[in-house]
Structure 1
Amino acid sequence: MQHAAHTQAPGWKAEMRETLRLAGPLALANLLQMLTYAIDVIFIARLGSQELAASALAVALFGLIVWSLQALTGAVAPIMAAEIGARGPALRPVRRAMRMALWLSLAVSVVGIALCLLIGPISRATGQDLAITAFATSYMWVLVWSLPLMVITGVQRSFVATLGRPIFATAITAVGILINAAANYAFIFGNWGAPALGLPGAAVATFSTSVAIVAMYALAIRLDPRLHRYRIMGFFWRPDWQRLAEIVRIGTPIAITVLAEAGVFGAAAFIMGRIGALELAAHTLAINLAAFAFQVPFGVGQAATIRVGYFYGARDAGGMGRAGWMGIAIGTGFMALSGLAMIVAPELLLSAYIDVSAPENAALVSTASALLLVAAAFALSDAVQSVAAGALRGLKDTRIPMWIAIFSYWVPGFGLAMWLGLATSLGASGVWIGLATGLTVAAALLLWRWKTRERLGLTQRSGER
């Protein structure tokens, strides 16, 4: 039976192999997704600073909403994993879970679009330049049509990864980069007979890429025998309200956790702006490097959710423990190497963004290098809390981890960041010490919850608790 391949991992070595097989393609897909955003920036920057600022403003809101909605609908992954672990291949339960996740994607996308279209009032309320606000609004009016497609893509990705085909996510994201670059080239500047649309052309490129990615996932699912046997579009009109409620119950705390974490980093940028323009620029560089490195433990966390979910469905407590601890070890090990690079070679890392040898950048390099020293500790804690949260999601445990995240990020984290950043001589480094403290508290509490999972009754399936 299919689930046997997923759940009969007899030891640590086999578990490491299975986790890496799943996490590797997912982490690479995450890194490629960041490259997609970078390509947008490269093309838009050629239009001018106002257009670039406007796109950054729009993408900040759009990205937050898309990421949150993908986190909500992504709760389908541990649900499908548990069904496969319990009675693989579990054709009907997995099909119903996918159907309800797709229904939910369409429903929440309506809300997401409405929120994105508030970009104009939000920009005016926060005192943004009127010309930049106008550019951001025109860009967003086209960009929002990509939102439902991106949320659906998240569900498709959960399906192929849970069914043991994570490489499809990597390959499709890679092809998407090429389509996005070509579409940007065509629609922004009017090449290859396309109209020259300027900034809205970048949004047309994003929409075109999103359509292509949904279609590529649909084609891959149709052509792969293991995936096609689930016939996920069969009886699409039939509701399963109980399954829909389960996705919402598990997914809503994940979405709120994403908002809490993204919110605290957004707030940190505002503190940096209060300290000075140099500090804000250094923060932007350092946070970009940290975010790039984070894509690997983020992928490991996604893999841990699925691996733990298989054993949770199979009622194998030992397997759950191995899967979770192996994910935590792999994620932390990678970030230990990343942290070492931040300590030993900060200028080499920063050279990807700026000319570190230019005299006019000396102060920026110095400030950013100091932040990367703090980021080394920050990176370890971020890996532990991310993968531990992923492992707990495999047990369908999301509500208490949500409260842990909100408390950790906003009380010790943001509170200390504000005090050290604005009321002491530490300045920018103080803000990052605060952020690192919040992540460390979250890591410690989530690790404790994972360690005591059996005592807390988390390893028993929902109906058995």
Structure 2
Amino acid sequence: MSEHIAAAPDAARDTSRRDGWAAELRAMFELAWPLVIAQLAQNALHTTDVILLGWLGSNYLAAGTLGTTFMMPFLVGGVGVVGAVAPLVAQARGSRDIKAVRRVVRQGCWAAIALAAVLVPIVLQIKPIFALLGQDPGATEMAHQFIQIAAWSLFPALGIIAFRSLLSAFDATRAILVITVLGVLLNAAIGYVLIFGHFSFPRLELRGAAIATLVTNVAMFLMMVAYVLRHRRLKRFNVLLRFWQPDWPRFREIFRIGTPIGLTVLAEVGLFTAAALLMGRLGTDEVAAHAIALQCASMAFMVPLGLGIAATVRVGMAYGRSDPEGIRKAGWTAFVLGTGFMAVSCTVFLSMGPTIVSWFLDPRVPENANALALAATFLMVAGIFQLVDGAQVVAAHALRGLSDTKVPMILAILGYWAVGLPVAWLLGFVVGWRGLGIWIGLAVGLAFVAVVLVSRFAMRERLGLLRPR
């Protein structure tokens, strides 16, 4: 009984916020801004490695990019599955089913452990897989050195998602921000020391970057668990109580909703992985340029992604309390904010491309000239597809708040692999536009998915997506 009494103020506050677009905008902004900055900080973890490895040389950057690109689909696929905790907890909060919160988070941790146990052995096989894909043997060996250590970070990284979902659903997004920023600083410090061998530490180069990644993820996971267990509002859930007790219906529900989410994200990231592998067939300069442009585009993408996560929570809470008007306002508010920001980033990429890419490779080194020129060209294309990229991620997350994941998965796979990748291959290798053609193919795939997902959210009532939970 005490759990329901404690939940009442939250539910009342959420109900009071339903009235008016301005109120929804304030609620969305309060929830989203720490998530946006946290997503930027999360992306900065990888950006730090890109910059540090770029200082070592383009061959180290290319090898690190190949290793990270290979692991990323497995990571984000697992993140998508465990990410089902977020809409389920938000819906439970909206319907004031507080006991379900503990059960969902606990089974989210189970899902994280199970997924990592399956994925890590696969990721460790990077060397034979890259050999079959025809990648450069030297770059493959260097990427192998990185992955043998970094692969183990999947365990804490997926565990973080379960606890982050709880924090997001209960408006504790500032804690996510603080922990992520601390992670960035820790990763930068360890990476700087171990990659270059400063302060009497051995010069480990790629292995140093991998150790920094692993240690940082473990530290962030422990900080997040400690916060949930000690915070006044959150410790009442006792999320680790009887942790080993199974709850198979909740466990299956996470995979039922989360597997399509994981496959959706995997389809998108897999498209970029395929693009990196295609770049690998063109040369080291193309891979390095692709890494730089992709890192810039990814950094901008973190803003609508953070807004999308907030949309999942706000839409999920409205769905849990059977509030169609709240769903409408939450979804479209996040959409306007996300696409508005991407319009700004598009302008920045188009007007400042050469300057931005020079932050990653030293323009004074003659050997970097071709990679810098290619990166500036790729970044112009990335600027053009910023708008559709922001639209598709916000729409996908809004639909997840309604537990609508299967059809968006099919549409995403179709858009990325039946539209985007064939266009990339055609323009890159048949027409002969090389890296530029590959990036145009990426833009076409994103545009297709944006149109169909935004249309689906707009027709949510007609499609029966608002049926009672």
Moved more, 172-181 or 448-457: 172-181
Q: Counterparts of 1:141 and 1:370 in 2: how far apart (Å)?
A: 33
Q: How far off is 1:23 after superposition? A: 1.6
Instruction: Output one character per residue of 1:227-249: Cα deviation in whole Å (capped at 9) or x when no partner.
Output: 11111111212221111111101
Deviation at 1:378, TM superposition (A): 0.8
Rounded Cα–Cα distance in structure 2 between residues aligned with 1:258 and 1:168: 25
Within 5 Å, give how 1:109-120 maps onto structure 2: 109-120=116-127
* Structure 2 match to 1:237: 244
Q: Write the distance in 2 (CA, Å) between the matches of 1:35 and 1:192.
A: 24
CA apart distance, 1:145: 2.6
SS in 2 for 1:243: helix
Percent identity for Structure 1 against Structure 2: 41
Identify the match of residue 102 of structure 2 among 90, 95, 102: 95
- Per the alignment, residue 20 of structure 2 pairs with 11
CA distance in 2, matches of 1:303, 1:336: 20
Q: What residue number does 1:350 align with?
A: 357
Do 2:65 and 2:291's aligned partners in 1 also have CA atoms closer than 8 Å?
Answer: no
Partner of 2:65: 56
**Number of the residue aligned with 1:383:** 390
- How far has the Cα of 1:195 moved from its partner? 6.1
Kept after mapping to 2: 8 A contact 1:275/1:421: no
Which among 334, 340, 345 is matched to residue 338 of structure 1? 345
Report the AA paired with residue 184 of structure 1. Answer: G
Q: Which residue of 1 aligns with 2:85?
A: 76
Inter-CA distance 347–183: structure 2 relative to 1 (3 Å threshold): closer
Instruction: Tell me whether 350-359 or 315-324 shows the greater mean CA deviation.
Output: 350-359
Task: Work out which of the residue numbers 226, 234, 240 in structure 2 matches 1:227.
Answer: 234
Once residues 366 and 194 of structure 1 are traced to their aligned partners in structure 2, the CA distance between those partners, rounded to angstroms, is 36
Q: CA 1:188–1:356 in structure 2 vs 1: closer, same or farther (change >3 Å)? A: closer
Q: Does 1:405 align with 2:400?
A: no
TM-score by length of 1: 0.91
SS at match of 2:155: helix
Q: What's the CA shift for 1:393? A: 0.2
Distance in 1 separating the partners of 2:434 and 2:62: 25
Alignment of 1:173-188 (within 5 A): 173-188=180-195
Q: Is the 8 A contact 2:43 2:298 kept in 1?
A: no
Which amino acid in 2 is paired with 1:446?
L
Match of 1:159? Answer: 166
In the TM superposition, what whole-angstrom CA distance separates every residue of 1:422-455 from its partner, at most 9, and x where no partner exists?
A: 3336554433332222211111111111011011
Do the aligned partners of 1:275 and 1:422 also contact (CA within 8 Å) in 2? Answer: no
| Post-superposition offset of 1:65 | 1.4
Shift of 1:213: 1.0
Find the residue that maps to 2:303 and give its secondary structure.
helix
Among candidates 209, 234, 252, match of residue 216 of structure 2 = 209
Residues 163 and 416 of structure 1: CA distance in aligned 2, closer, same or farther (over 3 Å): same
Q: Relative to 1, partners in 2 of residues 1:289 and 1:210: Cα closer, same or farther, differing over 3 Å? A: closer
> How many residue pairs were aligned?
460
Contact residue 261 and residue 409 of structure 1 kept, 8 A: yes
Pair 1:121–1:358, CA change in 2 (3 A)? closer
Matching residue's letter, 1:75: A
Which amino acid in the other structure matches residue 176 of structure 1? G
Q: 1:109 to 1:436 in 2, by over 3 A?
A: same
Counterpart of 1:56, as a letter, is T
Task: List per-residue Cα deviations over 1:411-432 (Å, max 9, x = no partner).
Answer: 2222222222333365544333
Q: Which residue of 2 aligns with 1:255?
A: 262
State the Cα distance separating 1:278 from its structure 2 match: 5.3
| Partners of 1:347 and 1:356 within 8 A in 2 | no
Within 2, Cα distance between the matches of 1:49 and 1:368? Answer: 13
Deviates more, 1:18-27 or 1:93-102: 18-27
After TM superposition, the structure 1 stretch with the greater mean CA deviation from structure 2, 438-447 or 92-101, is 438-447
CA contact (8 A) 1:78 1:396 kept: yes
- Offset, 1:219: 2.0
Question: Which amino acid letter does the alignment assign opposite residue 275 of structure 2?
Answer: A
Deviation at 1:147, TM superposition (A): 1.5
- SS of match in other structure, 1:335: helix
TM-score by length of 2: 0.90
> 210-219 vs 430-439, which deviates more?
430-439
Stretch deviating more after TM superposition (185-194 or 383-392)? 185-194
Say if 1:73 and 1:155, in contact at 8 Å, map to a contact too. Answer: yes
Q: Matches of residues 301-450 of structure 1 in structure 2 within 5 Å?
A: 301-354=308-361, 367-424=374-431, 426-450=433-457
Query: Is residue 2:225 matched to residue 1:218?
Result: yes
**More displaced, 323-332 or 374-383?**
374-383
Are 2:156 and 1:146 aligned?
A: no
The secondary structure found in structure 1 opposite 2:95 is helix
Cα distance change on mapping 1:320 and 1:428 into 2, 3 Å: same
Instruction: Output one character per residue of 1:187-218: Cα deviation in whole Å (capped at 9) or x when no partner.
Output: 45666676665543433332322221112112
1:86 is displaced (CA, Å) by: 0.9
User: Structure 1 404/163 Cα, relative in aligned 2: closer, same or farther at 3 Å?
Assistant: same
Deviation of 1:128 after TM superposition, in Å, equals 4.3
Contact 2:69 2:276 in 1 (8 A): no
Query: Which one of 449, 453, 461 corresponds to residue 454 of structure 1?
Result: 461
Distance 1:437 1:63, change over 3 A: closer
Cα distance 1:108–1:276, how it changes in 2: closer, same or farther (>3 A)? closer
Q: Does 1:26 align with 2:26?
A: no
* Aligned mates of 1:144, 1:285 — CA distance in 2: 22
**Secondary structure of the corresponding residue to residue 101 of structure 2:** helix
**Partner residue of 2:4?**
none
| Alpha-carbon distance in 2 for matches of 1:448, 1:46 | 44
Contact 1:311 1:319 in 2 (8 A): yes
The one-character-per-residue Cα deviations of 1:25-49 (angstroms, maximum 9, x if unpaired) are 1111111122222323444556666
Uncovered stretches (5+) of structure 2, i.e. residues with no partner: 1-7
- Tell me how far apart the structure 1 counterparts of residues 54 and 377 of structure 2 sit (CA, whole Å): 28
Q: CA RMSD in A?
A: 2.6
**Structure 1, unaligned runs of 5 or more:** none
- 2:443 and 2:325 map into 1 onto residues whose CA distance is 32
Q: Deviations over 1:385-418 (max 9, x none)?
A: 1100000000000000001001111222222222
| 1:259 Cα offset (Å) | 1.6
Q: 1:430 to 1:144 in 2, by over 3 A?
A: closer
